[in-house]
Amino acid sequence: MKGVILVIAVAVTLIVLTILGLYFWLERSLRPKPSTRAFWNLSNIPLAKRLEGYFYIARPDIYLKPAAWDWVHKYLVKNETGDTYHGKILTRKDIHQIVSLNTPVEILDLDQVIPYPVARSIVLQHPLPSLAVMDCPCRAQKKDACEPRDVCMAVGEPFVSFVLEHHPHTSRRLTVDEALSILKAEEERGHIHTAWFKDAVHDRFYVLCNCCSCCCLGMASYNRGVDRIIHSGYKPVIDQNACAACGICEAICPFGAIQTGDEHSLVNLDKCMGCGLCSSHCVYKAISLKLAPEKGIPLDINTLLA
């Protein structure tokens, strides 16, 4: 009996020491950082979810590592879903509205825009705009990842302060103009804009990402058949008279939804996710975006606030 008690005591001690060591490693002090306290008190989600969310934002590069291992999906992960962690595709117009926002937002249930059971809220309070850029944790998983790597943007408090305090060497605060410049450059590279929501981040929106099909783990999940990425709510419409069948739109589409015909391009709306890259890259201005309510409702923040 004494032997069993001793083993339990040693195990508990090791667990406590591991937790304390992890805490000191992440906080680098005895007292928690102000942003840690703010994150911890943001809502009443379960303790386990708060711990997960804390570690996820503090070290997303480590948190996401298993998602890059093929054997994890082959042998360990069963019935993978996007219910608790999902991204909404944004067009240039819609993402510009978010980064330029200077009005508080509190939309606690975006069930029509974010059709999942949890993690579908947007709460942004003053000071606004509040933006910070950090290294993409998905690109951190690859040695030959797309450059630059500092393309993910935390939005709103306490997430911006959390990123700046916990990643002082790989993050920086952004002005609106700097954020728009990053978005423009990423779109020119053929990367899509997404807004991410996660249950462990207090069931809300917290970051804007610029995703490439070669590095993004969310897109890799989607390509495995997981319903993790949400349609933008727009569809491209091609003016057949203006289209020169140059093939640029086919080459830039990350979803393989466009084919170039002899006279004009054709869109497969079953594959299209409405990212808008085909429209912004068309040198002949032959592609416009129209609402596609049959596919989804846009995350158009101005319309939602109206």
Average pLDDT per run of 10 along the chain, which is 306 residues long?
77 83 80 94 94 95 91 80 96 96 92 94 93 96 93 97 95 97 97 98 97 94 93 97 96 96 94 97 97 96 90
Last residue of a domain, one of 230, 254, 271: 230
CATH number of domain containing 263: 3.30.70.20
Q: Residues 135, 280: one domain?
A: no
- Tell me if 11 is assigned to some domain: no
Q: Percentages helix, strand, coil for the chain, rounded to the nearest 5?
A: 40, 20, 40
pLDDT of residue 78: 76
Q: Which residue has the tokens 């423009």?
A: 184
Q: What is the pLDDT of residue 15?
A: 85
Assess if residue 272 is contained within a domain. Answer: yes
Where among 230, 254, 278 does a domain terminate? 230
Please indicate, yes or no, if residue 29 is contained in any of the structural domains: yes
Asked if 135 and 243 sit in the same domain, the reply is: no
Strand order in the sheet with 204-211: 171-174, 131-135, 150-155, 204-211, 192-198, 85-90, 229-230
Q: Supply the range of the domain harboring residue 56.
A: 22-230
216 shares its domain with 95:
yes
What pLDDT does 20 receive? 79
> So what's the pLDDT on residue 175?
97
- Sequence-ordered list of residues with C-beta below 8 angstroms from that of 202, at least 6 positions apart, any chain: 39, 42, 43, 45, 53
Same domain, 218 and 140: yes
Do 75 and 149 fall into the same domain? yes
Predicted pLDDT of residue 43: 93
Note whether 202 and 65 are same-domain residues.
yes
Considering the domain architecture, whether residues 165 and 286 belong to the same structural domain is answered as no
* pTM (predicted TM-score): 0.92
Lookup result for tokens 């008690």: 5
In this structure, the answer to whether residues 262 and 275 fall within a common structural domain is yes
Indicate the number of domains in the chain. Answer: 2
Same domain, 249 and 279: yes
Decide which of 230, 259, 274 is a domain's last residue. 230
pLDDT of residue 30: 80
